[in-house]
Amino acid sequence: MAVLVEIFDFGFNQSSFITKAIEVFYTSILIIGILLIPFRWIIKHLRPKFKAILIDTLFLLFLLSVATVRLNFFKELDLLHTIFSMEGWIYVAILFIFIREFSALDLNFKRKTITPAQLFVISFILLIIIGTGLLLLPNATNSGISLLNALFTSTSAVCVTGLIVVDTGSYFTELGQGIILLLIQVGGIGIMTFTSYFSYFFRGGTTFENQLMLSDMTNAEKISEVFGTLKKIIFITLIIELVGAAVIYSSIDDTIIPLLSDQIFFSVFHSISAFCNAGFSTLSDSLYDIDFRFNYPLHIVISLLFVLGGLGFPIAFNIVKYVQHLLVNKLFRFLFRKRVIHKPWVINLNTRIVFITTSILVAVGTVLFFAFEYDNTLAEHDLFGKIVTSFFGATTPRTAGFNSVDMSALNFSTLMILFLLMWIGASPASTGGGIKTSTLAIAWLNFISIAKGKDRIEVFKREISKSSVNRAFAIISLSLVVIGLGIFLLASFDPDKDLLSLAFECFSAYSTVGLSLGITAKLSAASKGVLIVIMIVGRVSMLTILIAIFRKISYLNYRYPTEEILIN
């Protein structure tokens, strides 16, 4: 109820009477939230674990501080009244109370009732519906928005795509832009990551069934590492986004964005949008805006953010583990003059494949973009600007969605490169989309193995499992089916649009890229509906949807006679 009242308060213009009534309601909720915490400590079957009680204590002190200032108690505590005098603290307090109470619910997901794939798909659909409702609020836009456009924008934000049918900066108010930012953040990391971690955070534990469910969704190697993985995902995300926002803030010209609050919001918005590979920007022409077109430090920061976001969390964890291994080795050798026990394969096969594939794609893409666009879209830049813009242009199609050049002016050969880069996308377990770099690598390695006469794929003295190969080719085939069907439907609904632009939209939607040749807003309602479906399918993957639909076989303890099928 408190959150619904907050939405009503922000989303609609209120009369003075309703405003006073809401203020009284907020105070009541604040007092209830304060009383509930010690109440749980007293009731035995509701009592959380000791480490959760410590968190509750800090949370209780925060709520008491807000309540003290709001009820005007202890006026002699000047510092406390100065810190918590801002009206915004009550909204933060109520949001925290909601998170605390929601986390206390006993949400046990039975694997026989709902599978991880089904839960994953449902969570995205629910978030899109909630986001659509929030964007329909009168105060979220300057002049109102249709249901279809709100649904499209919400889907694009949750699926971190970046395709837009209305200009984000001018069409949406600060509230609307804040809603889009929240949808990007939750959609980029995954709503189940947030809800599961907060539940564990405040309760201090969870069921074994939930851990099994989350281990499938987070790709954790051990069930005991599930919540450690969730914590690392949230921590790394927030740290990188905070550092990115600080660097972006330092690159802003005060004459272009004079207000400090606008500078901070611009920095935070673009840092989160970049790391989550969303591609949303408050600038009408994205980074091609005349005031930011030649801000090369900003372009470098944004591109590094979406490259880091596109590498994937397992890769980040493995790199951190390798750095720790090197530091410990060097410190031990220097301090104790002892030889440390060698640890083989600190950098695992997945990290090696992703790193090599990503490096090749970035290097080749940058060189080709530089060569094809040297006298075209890069003509207005100096040599350093050409290199930075080429690097940006080669990395942004891999699901980032920002543009620093005029997309409609690109050469045909460049567009073909962008098609390929969009289709490949980012890496597994990242904020990006596409078929993923590891899928491409497995397919290519399989071609080489077949040409050499091998019946298995061997790389770095390791053999890639048959299931990985099967999944890779299933993902490639299904992606082409979805994209092909999407192009066919768009061409049927909008026959007046050229096929190249329609194909570009479908590739961009499926791979959650967000780049466009400028026709998204001009598409018919039916075509927008098709793109909405493609964005959802691209974000959760068609293979995940099929797994969610079909019941998993519980046993395979038999084999039929094997026969060869003519292929070539």
Give the C-alpha distances (Å, rounded to integers) separating 9 from 138, 339, 514: 11, 64, 32
> Could you state, in order of their start, the residue ranges of all structural domains in the chain?
2-103, 116-309, 344-549
* Distance of alpha carbon 549 from alpha carbon 515, whole angstroms: 31
Per-residue pLDDT tens, the chain, 568 aa: give them.
888 898 898 888 888 899 899 989 988 988 988 888 888 778 776 676 766 777 778 888 888 888 888 887 777 777 777 777 777 888 888 888 887 777 666 655 555 567 767 777 888 899 899 999 999 999 999 988 999 999 999 999 998 888 999 999 889 999 999 999 999 988 887 655 555 544 444 444 455 445 554 555 455 555 555 556 677 777 888 899 999 999 999 999 888 999 998 999 999 999 999 998 888 999 988 899 998 999 999 999 999 998 888 888 778 878 888 887 777 776 666 666 666 666 677 788 888 999 999 999 999 999 999 999 999 999 999 999 999 999 999 999 988 889 899 998 999 999 999 999 999 988 887 878 889 999 999 999 999 998 988 888 888 888 888 888 988 999 999 999 999 999 999 999 999 999 999 999 999 999 989 899 989 999 999 999 999 999 999 888 888 888 778 766 666 778 888 888 887 6
Give the C-alpha distances (Å, rounded to integers) separating 481 from 280, 359, 386, 474, 522: 27, 28, 36, 11, 25
- Determine the length of the chain: 568
Nearest to 395 by CA among 429, 428, 360: 360
Q: What is the DSSP letter of 462?
A: E
Give burial (CB, 10 Å; 0-12/13-18/19+) of 562.
Answer: exposed
CB 566 within 8 A of CB 185: no
Helices (H), 452-524: 466-493, 499-510
Reported as a single tens digit per residue, the pLDDT across 436-450 is 999 999 999 999 998
Q: What is the DSSP letter of 459?
A: E
Structure tokens given for 251: 């690159």
Write down the pLDDT at residue 146.
Answer: 92
Helix (H, G, I), strand (E, B) or coil at 172: strand
Looking at residue 298, its amino acid is L
Listed as own residue / partner, the contacts of 488-491 with beta carbons closer than 8 Å and 24 or more positions apart are 489/526, 489/527, 489/530, 490/523, 490/527, 490/530, 490/531
The DSSP element (H or E) to which 48 belongs, if any, is none
Residues 6+ apart with CB under 8 A from 27: 67, 70, 71
CB 267 within 8 A of CB 246: yes
User: What does pTM read for this prediction?
Assistant: 0.85
The DSSP element (H or E) to which 456 belongs, if any, is none
* Distance of alpha carbon 421 from alpha carbon 423, whole angstroms: 5
Write down the pLDDT at residue 204.
Answer: 47
Residues 6+ apart with CB under 8 A from 438: 350, 353, 354, 357, 427, 428, 472
Nearest to 238 by CA among 203, 193, 283: 193
Helix (H, G, I), strand (E, B) or coil at 97: helix
